Structure 1
């Protein structure tokens, strides 16, 4: 294990310059991006969209990447930051330890009010600019256990996965001095799960198919002690090409389409609708995320008939006649998120740690600024574990847990940490994207969490099982040696745990915002990611993923690589349009 950790650190240091190229300004546009025709218009400069745009432009396709938001990382022009970062080339997004502060206050990289009824990134990098940077490779079973995934089985995505890891390796050694920080919680949980409960201690991404009763250190996509992601890798190579243009501040409202054949998009720029046009044989690719991609399709007259009728009745889009519609009932269906529960744990050996935004401890501040080391070099997850719960029908439900560095809610003592446990693959419950309010804002339907009792019972059984390896205790009589659960009693029955985790509180039935699966391969889109019923409209983002056993970031980036590969195969030959070019 330690050899692997050391190699990760060496690879990170050697590849920092190659992976994170110097910031590049977008190429000068000789006659305006709106006056040109594009082989590909990619909507959303997020986790998958940047990768798609980079790969298409690399293959010679004249590519326009449209993003609603603005800059995020320093390399993209982001300048929002606390005063202690003054004099550096760092924004708040670049510093992993400032991750949680994004959730405590609305910041520039998040979506403004009225865009989406969820917490989501609206900036260059998308959600990869606001998440913790956790980067777990999905097991092969996530691709292979879904019967509709033709063309996207584990063998099919293997080359895409390898390309991704070549551009964006995973690291467990986040701190550039080679040390691990804030380890008291890690040590206490390792003793509980590995020594007492019998979990296997593994390097998580070294054994991606091993996700049953395993424990390890988190894998991240950091680069040189800073947040990584496609904005620091793929985007930088795309910006160097003359056939690529990134336009921020462009909110795509709908596609111009007739009978499912798109000719361009209408984007609102500075409050004014503008038309961006496709070249002959061009493609529209939606990479706006599992909530916004279905919304724009629906606004474009593509989706479930009842939704299209509601939009038409309000004259909200130009597609008011059924003759203009492409009825696809699977657009927005199957929306998935992980149901989560916070379990507060205490132990006399633990020393909690919080991450101040404006005024870090001087030693930790200086350590990060001088060498990208210390607590601020990671987002605060000290450990991760995975497991499965078998079901009577032969399937299994996945469970993931991460360990934080501090307590939450009513439990914030100095010896308290938070276990965030949530259901993953195999859950029976899902929902759909719904449009609500006068502006038809997209958001999740009801029924996403625990609509099927089997989901809650599986997660409750998992929690009950690992609780049996804890020493006897109670909230008022903590264990003298070992962890004590504070908000769920250690001696709770499976049924009691079930009632707790399925009843809303600040600790249970939380929204993780790991949205996926709302335009699934084989249902909403075909294996090329083309929306069924259309001629040249595609979706490449977490919408096309099945529910995964891990955080969806890695899977969404694989989708970007695989989707670009499938898209390029749909072009019989490159069409070079005449007219304006890029200088």
Structure 2
């Protein structure tokens, strides 16, 4: 084995948060930083072409491509879980819809004991992470690593969908990341001049030229190294499969995501003692909640055939339209190849008694038989709907003590009656909008779930059989001020020293929307927390 590498900081995972953490920690040249990423560089061209999501969402060269354990309330189905295994992480393969969530999400974190994570505390970090098309405003930022834009060439379906929503009683909302989230409108996208934008492209690409930042890809971290209860480094396999060790004189920062971070903690002896002992892992620090509190956004699709050939399905079915589509992208950076996964959307209440919106829907100008599959051979679009705050909770566990074995993921979707009844109400609301003018004039027929599915039980059966996650796992290393939480509000892992977590796993409760924007914010805030700690130590 080669001599140990020595750096001030080791960051594990070059995803949405990790790329920002490594970039910020190395920014002033004061500290040496080692960034370890299990995947490779983001050289696959489909990563950068927005419509290429369909090509990368199941590609194991850039994707962990996890499968859950059988889910009892989904009829025992195993659910596919995409998770980025590439520089950029899930921010390199996601649908590029940029949603922060509601201010009440973060005020709720604060009320739950996450001091310093209220809306007023996190807004500056949301702003710092973005280069927003509205420029520098009280709610948005300019000059950040991730570009936030509106689509240059939205689908013609958008205007009709928005008009139908307004006619059905929703308010128009031109900024879901503005003062209020509720309403119907066009999504913000993490796209820059027709190409994907993420923190690896916007922050890490320039930062990797710094002499004090080392980025190593193909580096699979197997465990955290402890001296007593202090994290002092990591053991990993390099791209050639050779064992390596790296030492951190200051801190190790885990940014591996809500599935791999708890797995790495448990492999390293931090977690539920009975579970660790069952796998012959020496317990370094007991914490029953490592891997618990798993949350995700389950979604169900309503697919409608259109009267006219106006969908991406039609573009891809015709050779000359595919040729035109390619030419528009190459020469103008416009057209369907620049489409993020969803154009328009709505945030709404599924019943009047809800104190705030509890549902999110996505209009996608295409339809597919299944994940990563080629579109249907007919003109169709999709409206996918998801629950803002599922009450069901799952867990992540070890299958064995082998670091190469995927984690056992138990999402526990639809475990509560509250969650099950939500989807019945949500599908009825989506159908109401689609049956309203002018959208009703564009729909030839409802393909899925189909007009024969009408009763509550029939709708629920459809949800059980056809729903899928939209890849927002979070919460498995919960932040809080109580002793049972995995990390404190400074993101320090309880029971040990020199170890922090900065990724979606720290979220105590899932946010009401796509979680990538929140991961960017977590990365920005984590970097400040870490730098402040070591600035204080240096001054002392």
Q: Tell me the TM-score range normalised by the shorter chain.
A: 0.7 to 0.9
1:162 and 2:127 aligned? yes
Which residue number corresponds to residue 311 of structure 2? 352
Displacement of 1:241 after TM fit? 1.9
* Structure-2 change in CA distance of 1:222 and 1:277 (3 Å): same
Contact 1:461 1:494 in 2 (8 A): no
1:254 and 2:223 aligned? yes
Which residue number corresponds to residue 367 of structure 1? 328
Which residue number corresponds to residue 506 of structure 2? 544
Contact 1:456 1:498 in 2 (8 A): no
Paired residues for 1:166-181 under 5 Å: 166=142, 167-168=144-145, 170-175=147-152, 180-181=153-154
Cα distance in structure 2, aligned partners of 1:137 and 1:114: 27
Contact 1:139 1:549 in 2 (8 A): yes
Contact 1:470 1:483 in 2 (8 A): no
| SS at 1:346 equivalent | strand
| SS at 1:519 equivalent | coil
Which residue number corresponds to residue 365 of structure 2? 405
1:554 and 2:517 aligned? yes
1:463 and 2:427 aligned? yes
Which residue number corresponds to residue 335 of structure 1? 294
Cα distance in structure 1, aligned partners of 2:246 and 2:230: 15
Candidates 198, 201, 211, aligned match of 2:169: 198
1:94 and 2:54 aligned? no
Cα distance in structure 1, aligned partners of 2:180 and 2:172: 11
Which residue number corresponds to residue 524 of structure 1? 486
Displacement of 1:221 after TM fit? 1.1
Which residue number corresponds to residue 326 of structure 1? 285
Displacement of 1:111 after TM fit? 2.6
* Structure-2 change in CA distance of 1:407 and 1:368 (3 Å): same
* Structure-2 change in CA distance of 1:574 and 1:342 (3 Å): same
1:186 and 2:158 aligned? yes
Which runs of 5 or more residues in structure 1 are unaligned? 1-31, 73-77, 81-90, 313-318, 577-583
Contact 1:225 1:373 in 2 (8 A): yes
Cα distance in structure 1, aligned partners of 2:197 and 2:448: 35
Displacement of 1:193 after TM fit? 1.4
* Structure-2 change in CA distance of 1:498 and 1:445 (3 Å): farther
* Structure-2 change in CA distance of 1:396 and 1:442 (3 Å): farther
* Structure-2 change in CA distance of 1:353 and 1:112 (3 Å): closer
Candidates 499, 512, 537, aligned match of 2:470: 512
Candidates 211, 222, 242, aligned match of 1:242: 211
Cα distance in structure 1, aligned partners of 2:345 and 2:212: 42
Displacement of 1:515 after TM fit? 1.1
Cα shift readout 1:528-560 (whole Å, capped 9, x = no counterpart): 111111111111011112301110110000000
Displacement of 1:389 after TM fit? 4.2
Cα distance in structure 2, aligned partners of 1:347 and 1:259: 64
1:144 and 2:107 aligned? yes
Which residue number corresponds to residue 451 of structure 1? 415
Which residue number corresponds to residue 21 of structure 1? none
Paired residues for 1:265-304 under 5 Å: 265-269=234-238, 270-279=240-249, 282-304=250-272
| SS at 2:520 equivalent | helix
| SS at 2:200 equivalent | coil
Displacement of 1:190 after TM fit? 2.2
Cα distance in structure 1, aligned partners of 2:208 and 2:126: 23
Cα distance in structure 1, aligned partners of 2:440 and 2:126: 45
Cα distance in structure 2, aligned partners of 1:49 and 1:297: 17
Which residue number corresponds to residue 153 of structure 1? 118
Contact 2:267 2:401 in 1 (8 A): no
Candidates 88, 93, 105, aligned match of 1:125: 88
Cα distance in structure 1, aligned partners of 2:172 and 2:277: 54
Aligned residues: 500
- TM-score normalised over the length of structure 1: 0.79
Displacement of 1:472 after TM fit? 9.3
Cα distance in structure 2, aligned partners of 1:384 and 1:464: 16
1:108 and 2:61 aligned? yes
* Structure-2 change in CA distance of 1:113 and 1:401 (3 Å): closer
- Considering only aligned residues, what root-mean-square deviation do their CA atoms show, in Å? 3.1
Displacement of 1:488 after TM fit? 3.1
Displacement of 1:61 after TM fit? 2.1
Cα distance in structure 2, aligned partners of 1:472 and 1:271: 58
* Structure-2 change in CA distance of 1:215 and 1:495 (3 Å): same
- TM-score normalised over the length of structure 2: 0.84
1:385 and 2:346 aligned? yes
Cα distance in structure 2, aligned partners of 1:94 and 1:330: 37
Displacement of 1:170 after TM fit? 4.9
Displacement of 1:35 after TM fit? 4.5
* Structure-2 change in CA distance of 1:467 and 1:115 (3 Å): closer
Cα distance in structure 2, aligned partners of 1:358 and 1:268: 46
Cα distance in structure 2, aligned partners of 1:400 and 1:162: 23
Cα distance in structure 2, aligned partners of 1:210 and 1:361: 39
Which residue number corresponds to residue 7 of structure 2? 38
Cα distance in structure 2, aligned partners of 1:97 and 1:407: 13
Cα distance in structure 2, aligned partners of 1:42 and 1:390: 44
Displacement of 1:114 after TM fit? 10
